[in-house]
Chain A
Amino acid sequence: MKVEGTDDIYDLTPAPGTVTEEGTFLNTENLLKDTTAALLGGNSNMVPDEALVALKNLIDGLTPEKIGAAKIAIGSYVGAGKSGEENSLTFNFEPKFVLVTADSAREYRWLHLIRGMSTTQTSQTYGSINIRWAGNTVYWKTLAENNPSVQMNNNGVTYFYVAIG
């Protein structure tokens, strides 16, 4: 209803007969509780718009580390033609699983390394592998001499790996 004596000011009192049921009052308890505001770093004066901005900032600041997401790395190396001295792969995370395989139609072999393992055997060979884990690096070697195939380290062969951590 227009405030008496004015032309453009209205109060919130509805005209008689136009409202038959009282609605829900708009207040902080209905729009943004103080406890909710506190979760977003605000106080009792926080308005819903500020709360949404705070929520967006939290989402934007999420990283794989914060949410505990696994990391994956892929890459390769060129074999150096040696066995008996350790090969190694280093990552920017602690690897839990590493799979190595040759990019060669003549070398159908693979080596799987799972953190905690200290020995394994390269597939399709009779050769055993000793494994060592140190932080972000995994090392492996075969004790057999002149057997770079077992160590996945043949001259000039490109070996691909995938690591998960």
Chain B
Amino acid sequence: MRLIEINALDNGAHNNQTINGADPATFPVPDGWAIIHEDDVPHENFPFGSFETEVVDERTYMKRNSWTPGVIPEPEPEPEPEPSEPSVWDELQAAYEEGVNGAYDQ
């Protein structure tokens, strides 16, 4: 069973979740989420897009064939991880290399 959050994020994507073996008739669908029909057409660019909803048997579904693909934004560069403080081993290695290289240079 697949779920999708009805409201999109500001980048046009929808939070979503697939639960293996869940029963759409009884699963506790969170507020603001819809069930995706198992026999719906493939959703291009999922989860970026838009869709319509419908209520069936008091449960909210994504309407079949209502998916409109959105544009997948280019991923923004992630910040570089902060370097950790040099460890004792790093310092020992640097000193060893300097000593070895210095001996060859003589």
**Would B79 and A80 count as touching, CB distance under 8 A?**
no
**Residue-by-residue, is A130-165 near B (CB-CB < 8 Å gives 1, otherwise 0)?**
000000110000001011110000111000000000
Query: Chain A contacts of B105 at CB under 8 A?
Result: none
Compute how far the CA of A93 lies from the CA of B4 in the bound complex, rounded to whole angstroms: 19
**Would B82 and A80 count as touching, CB distance under 8 A?**
no
Compute how far the CA of A137 lies from the CA of B20 in the bound complex, rounded to whole angstroms: 16
Q: Is the interface of B mostly helix, strand, loop or mixed?
A: loop
Contact residues of B between 1 and 46, Cβ < 8 Å to A: 3, 9-11, 13-22, 26-30, 33, 46
**Would B19 and A91 count as touching, CB distance under 8 A?**
yes
A154 touching B75 in the complex, CB below 8 Å, given contacts A78-B46, A80-B15, A88-B15: yes
Contact residues of A between 97 and 128, Cβ < 8 Å to B: 125-126
Compute how far the CA of A78 lies from the CA of B30 in the bound complex, rounded to whole angstroms: 18
Contact residues of B between 46 and 88, Cβ < 8 Å to A: 46-47, 72-73, 75-79, 81-82
**Would A92 and B22 count as touching, CB distance under 8 A?**
yes
| CB-nearest residue of chain A to B84 | A126
The interface on chain B, measured as residues whose beta carbon lies within 8 A of the other chain's beta carbons, has a size of 31
Number of A-B contacts (CB under 8 A): 73
Specify which of B18, B73, B78, B82 is in contact with A76 (CB 8 Å cutoff).
B18
Query: Chain A contacts of B82 at CB under 8 A?
Result: 126
Query: Chain B contacts of A92 at CB under 8 A?
Result: 22, 26-28
**Would B79 and A144 count as touching, CB distance under 8 A?**
yes
**Would A78 and B47 count as touching, CB distance under 8 A?**
yes
Residues of B at the A interface (CB closer than 8 Å) are: 3, 9-11, 13-22, 26-30, 33, 46-47, 72-73, 75-79, 81-82
Query: Can you list 15 contacts pairing A with B, beta carbon distance less than 8 Å?
Result: A74-B20, A75-B17, A75-B22, A80-B11, A80-B15, A82-B10, A85-B9, A87-B15, A90-B3, A91-B19, A92-B27, A126-B82, A136-B28, A146-B77, A148-B75
